Amino acid sequence: MRIVVAMKQVPDTAEVRIDPVRNTLVRDGVPSIMNPFDVYALEEGLRWRDELGGEVIALTMGPPQAEAILKEAVSMGADQAVLLSDRAFAGADTWATSQTLAAAVRKLAPIDLVFTGKQAIDGDTAQTGPGIAASLDWPQLTFVGRVLGIEGGRIVVERYVEGGVETLSSTLPAVVTVLKDANTPRMPSLRGKMKARNLAVTTWGIADLGLDPSETGLDGSPTRVVGIASPEARSGGSIHRGSPEELAVILADLLLGEEAGA
């Protein structure tokens, strides 16, 4: 079983602010972390590798410093790490990102499974996983809360969908996007950390993937983010105190007043 776990380095959103003037994320001084959903994707990959044998390859696209999450993946048990880094990849939307990651999966062939988090906490699109599947023309199993089994060239999963659980079986290879319900991620091990420290991360650029600049980065991106804004802060509401009778009168006045105003 050869498993790719596609992951993204994201700003720790607990620490992110939005520049009120330029409507952009203020990333200065914000720590970067492995996208939290991807941690679960990694655990899922490691879990099935441990059970079935084979190897887990951690894959990411990003600037050179994105290497940090690959090393983290290796410290948790990933066998290999591949960084896709090139100026030509910069500014990619989810389409171009998916194309680029899919090209790397093709280069890593044969691959049986791609696990990735259901979405990244910075973009919140949930499109890259499905995009990789589309680009590879593989089945996609999204919002997976539990992988029930991998056997005989098939994978059986539970998708947690609105109002229920859908059990799906698919042929391999496939792309699976996972939820935090899927597992409990392991801690790094000391031997993993020692391996990660000395690891030379494989880095591939556009030439290594055999892609054309028109297919990657900003040039390969059909969509543009034209603006980003913080929602207006909601006012705190008002608190009224009194007996039920008094409050009923206040409430009626407020509702009627609002109606009159409208």
Partner 1 sequence: MDYFLSDDVKAIRELCAEIAEKHIKPVREELDRENRFPHEIMNVLADSDLFRIYIPEEYEGLGLGSMSLCVAAEELSRACAGIATSYAANALGAMPILLFGTDGQKRKYLPGLASGKSLAAFGLTEPDAGSDAGGIRTRAVRDGDSYVLNGTKQWITNGGEAKVYTIIAMTDPERGARGASAFIVEDGTPGFTYGKKEDKMGIRASATRELVFEDCRIPAENLIAREGTGFMVAMKTLDNSRPGVAAQAVGIAQGALDAALVYASQRKQFGQRIDSFQGIQFMLADMATQVEAARALTYSVARMIDAGVRKFEKEAAMAKVFASDVAMKVTTDAVQIFGGYGYMKEYPVEKMMRDAKITQIYEGTNQIQRNVIASNLIRETASGAR
> Which residues here bind partner 1, judged by CB under 8 A?
186-194, 197
Smallest gap, in angstroms, from Cβ of residue 47 to partner 1?
13
Span between the terminal Cα atoms of the chain, in Å: 64
Identify which of residues 187 and 229 has a Cβ nearer to partner 1 in the complex: 187
Identify which of residues 17 and 191 has a Cβ nearer to partner 1 in the complex: 191
Smallest gap, in angstroms, from Cβ of residue 139 to partner 1?
33
Single out the residue of 72, 48, 76 nearest to residue 187, CA to CA.
76
Identify which of residues 180 and 186 has a Cβ nearer to partner 1 in the complex: 186
- Using a 10 angstrom Cβ sphere, with 0-12 exposed, 13-18 middle and 19 or more buried, the burial of residue 2 is middle
Smallest gap, in angstroms, from Cβ of residue 200 to partner 1?
16
What is the C-alpha separation between 122 and 236, in angstroms, rounded? 27
Dihedral (C-alpha) 121, 123, 125, 130: value to the nearest 10 degrees? -80
What is the C-alpha separation between 19 and 16, in angstroms, rounded? 10
Identify which of residues 107 and 186 has a Cβ nearer to partner 1 in the complex: 186
Smallest gap, in angstroms, from Cβ of residue 22 to partner 1?
34
The total number of residues shown for the chain amounts to 262
Q: In what order do the strands lie in the sheet with 113-117?
A: 164-171, 154-161, 140-151, 174-178, 113-117, 2-7, 55-61, 80-84, 202-204
Smallest gap, in angstroms, from Cβ of residue 187 to partner 1?
5
116's tokens: 């990735």
Identify which of residues 146 and 195 has a Cβ nearer to partner 1 in the complex: 195
